[in-house]
Amino acid sequence: MKYSYRCIVPIKSSNVDAWLAPDPSRRAQLREILADRERPYYEHQLAA
């Protein structure tokens, strides 16, 4: 059985190109992108 793990990666739109085409010699850049992220807010409502 195969499993697929997916999650939202909340990165800023200015970092999308660097995230999708990372420089293998600069892995620290990916950690910096993850640290400088947008903070999403999820609001839930009860169904009637």
Cα separation, 22 vs 37, whole angstroms: 16
Using alpha carbons, list the distances in angstroms from residue 27 to 4, 19, 23, 31, 44: 24, 10, 7, 7, 36
pLDDT digits (tens, 9 = 90+) for 1-48: 677 777 778 889 999 999 999 988 999 999 999 999 877 777 888 887
Position 29 scores a pLDDT of: 92
- Predicted TM-score (pTM) above 0.75: no
Nearest residue to 33 via CA among 5, 3, 2, 11: 11
The owner of tokens 């697929």 is: 4
In sequence order, which ranges of the chain are alpha helices (DSSP H)?
16-20, 27-35
